[in-house]
Structure 1
């Protein structure tokens, strides 16, 4: 009997503790669509501005008639990765004619490829190339045309762009043609198939783009702002200039700002330094950061500033993979600066969590109402009472002092 009573008392205390914990958070969203034990929840863009940097203040609570339960979860961050598989091949032909230099690659077996990486011994070159495919070396089909292969090497720059990217092509033979007045010295080559993951990055609309140029520092500054503060990992600039260019840049994101009587000071954190060029349309990729505003500084040297027509910001989505054991009214709560990262048992057996889980639906954001502590009213709210009492005390001390002086005489 005592054991049952102790058990019930423990459950009662724990339930009240969890309920009290729920009230320490600022926001909640209802969760619907629960049908299985394991599900995933995609965090919406509006949530990140209210979270701690390490996401420690996220909880999932289930409310029943008699109890409040806490749901264990793990954070799943999607990373953009490509899996490259090398394809075995051999160079069976290397010739030249009036139309340039030709290299023929033969695959060991018929299969699809979408990338050829080349390496040249030349220091400085600007080759124009094309790529064709064939299964019998008689009829050739065009895969790429007018593809630039660039090499720049001097005391300031050491840059190479010698990769051919194309849609998957399935041929037994591939023929590379390079048009160049000087002989290309092909050192090495590799053929690969790139398999991108199923997960895609979220795309965020750039609300404002502001570009300024500084003739003194020979640089341009581009400010990009998106709607919400979200995880980001990629920025693609749409440059309208039709000329060839090669410029160094540095990318930063806004961390905070300080308002002074004269101005507002914006603090930026450097993310990446690199080169933007016209040889290929490539996004600036970096390790994920939670940000809303970016600053890109392009160093033009003695060249005319580039015109940024538009920009696209992308970032990896974040999921919660959670286990639901019983029927309840479940809620996602967050926004608690004092919260610590939870410790759940499921972190020790991740291999038992299904790879494919269905997504749940989050309701609208609701502010959790907190009861205000009753205000303790002081005995005397007005300072006039204090001045009045002090005046009486001072007058009393003066009267006793005068009386003592008279008595001493």
Structure 2
């Protein structure tokens, strides 16, 4: 047993929760009931561990306690026998024997990764797949997910509940889809020779990557709260993306997403001042950037761009690489960034991509043509009224010398964000112009 502080226990429990949920879902196949059992096990751990000490194998302890809770619940129902037979058909009983101390699971055996793919099942809509995964695997609250999707919290809660019911009704298998190198039971037939199976794998993988990207973004820049970032979420997104990359090493978009995360996260230590305030990219001390992460990210995206079909994550990673490889902000090759954004917008003409493109246009051609691009974004309901649109508008107005309009836009952006560090930074910019 290990003695530790309550905050440390809470952090560990949060990291273990998706793994424990994955273990129960694989074994018993009841998403809703398994989640309830995991919550009970987490509460038991929160009560017992601070006083009695943390067990040597906390994941195994949680799985055993949650399994007992779930088993008791299933036994109390009339359909117990049928459910146990279904659970037994999903996986052998010994599938969750804990590895010996000091050993860890391989990525292909990672229950969290299998849970990730289960949440992206074809029975669910794209919105439901992403929301359920953020809740079950990413550990985000319903309110945080609602803010990420710009919908009311009640709407998101209903969406997640419906997704759980659909997963339960579908009888979806728990596992990771094969890639094209794996073989079906027929040794002469590759998994991706079946066009329907290949299309399903491609769609589920695309949703998984989008979810991982959202989890990383929430970790890198939290949508609300006093801290600029949530390091646990960013680290978990990188860990899971690495696991997917190990499973599918030839997929260019998986490599591109991993590269994008590494190249972005490499700047984390320079993003805040000692008092926790936000430091914008142009003002960061680049000697504090993680050069090893940058080297790995550049190598990943360079290889993907050479050998794989071009995709949005590769292009986003290439843009991040241009920033990270510049010795200073003045040395940034904005013309190359603009060219990359123009290719990206042909693939993904979304509002976030158009916003980034406008910034690149301003850096190459000046703020006035970029402000005209932002005016068009005001008509896009997905971004209109979002603080990032107003923050970029304020920056461009400041570049154009329109101090009064820039001050008003900074103030408006500050009022729209729920992130304390971002709000303070935007208020500071507004006040600086007023002086």
Shorter-normalised TM range: under 0.3
Name the structure where strand makes up a greater proportion of residues.
Answer: 1
Choose 1 or 2 for highest CA Rg: 1
Higher helix share: 2
TM-score, scaled to structure 2 = 0.19
